[in-house]
């Protein structure tokens, strides 16, 4: 299991999160640190005793606000925004030991890294629907059309973001041209919400680098696009960087 964890500002700086009691916020951070690589926390009661704070009320608040969810038996906690907070590299990711719990959560519609575990016993699947065969065929046909439309739109968005990301790095440093195909593969590996973050991070990183190293006009010593993606450096550059203009906003010169 990975030893480092991250938290997205989109989650922990949101109004919903900041409105939570401090004990609930702190418990969320601790859960984020002790969860396995699929965002599942075991032995919740023991952890509460070990931490010395947190209560069932905090758990209920986090659940009501959709920051955590529980398995049916109530023994395991799942961090709802796990993939938004953390996206581990494939060589560092270890699937949870709680396969039945993950399958149960998958059936609820939650997304996980890697292949699906499968439908656990006791959870009905689409084959047990009461609809007639004709109705099923119509529904499947409609769903297929919708999925195709969604897929086309998704591919269009991905291609647009990818092109802009690659062009951003290549315009900055020509050494990235030879890494275009590898960078493309790394970009596509990212979840959809992180592709936009990667583009934002690329633009902010380049601006920061140019501010700090004006002598390196060709970006010869900057990080390349592949490492920028595979090491998730873009998460460190989500805040906009102001260009150096020599003008001080406060002093007026």
The larger pLDDT score, comparing residue 45 to residue 147, is at 45
What is the tens place of the pLDDT at every residue in 4-30? 899 999 999 999 999 999 999 999 999
Instruction: Of 86, 39, 79, 38, give the one whose Cα is nearest residue 62.
Output: 79
Q: Calculate the average pLDDT of the chain.
A: 81
**Contacts with 168 (C-beta within 8 Å, 6 or more apart), sequence order:** 199, 202, 203, 206
Number of helices (H), then strands (E), belonging to the chain: the values are 11, 3
Annotate 40-59 with DSSP letters as a single string: EE--HHHHHHHHT---HHHH
Q: What is the pLDDT of residue 134?
A: 47
Q: How far apart are CA 102 and CA 71, in angstroms?
A: 9
Q: What is the pLDDT of residue 32?
A: 95
- Checking if the pLDDT of 222 tops 50, the result is yes
Q: How far apart are CA 42 and CA 245, in angstroms?
A: 52
What is the tens place of the pLDDT at every residue in 89-127? 777 889 999 999 999 999 999 989 877 776 544 444 444
As a whole number, mean pLDDT of residues 155-182 equals 84
Strands of 77-79's sheet, edge to edge?
A: 40-41, 77-79, 68-70
């Amino acid at each position: 299991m990975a030893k480092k964890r991250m938290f997205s500002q989109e989650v922990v700086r949101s109004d919903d999160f900041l409105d939570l009691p401090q004990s609930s916020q702190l418990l969320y951070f601790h859960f984020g640190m002790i969860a396995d690589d699929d965002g599942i926390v075991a032995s919740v009661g023991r952890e509460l005793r070990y931490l010395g704070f947190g209560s069932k009320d905090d758990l209920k608040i986090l659940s009501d606000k959709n920051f955590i969810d529980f398995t049916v038996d109530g023994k395991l906690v799942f961090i709802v925004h796990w993939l938004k907070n953390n996206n581990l590299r494939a060589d560092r990711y270890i699937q949870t030991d709680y396969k039945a719990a993950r399958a149960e959560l998958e059936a609820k519609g939650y997304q996980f890294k890697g292949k699906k575990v499968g439908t656990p016993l006791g959870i009905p699947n689409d084959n047990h629907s009461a609809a007639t065969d004709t109705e099923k065929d119509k529904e499947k046909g409609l769903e297929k059309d919708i999925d195709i439309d969604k897929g086309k739109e998704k591919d269009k968005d991905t291609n647009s973001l990818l092109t802009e990301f690659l062009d951003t790095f290549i315009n900055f440093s020509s050494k990235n041209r030879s890494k275009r195909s590898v960078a493309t593969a790394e970009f596509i590996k990212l979840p959809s919400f992180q592709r936009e973050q990667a583009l934002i991070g690329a633009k902010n990183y380049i601006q920061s680098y140019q501010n700090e190293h004006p002598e390196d006009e060709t970006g010869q010593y900057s990080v390349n696009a592949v490492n920028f993606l595979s090491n998730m450096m873009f998460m460190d550059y989500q805040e906009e960087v102001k260009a150096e203009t020599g003008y001080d906003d406060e002093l007026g010169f």
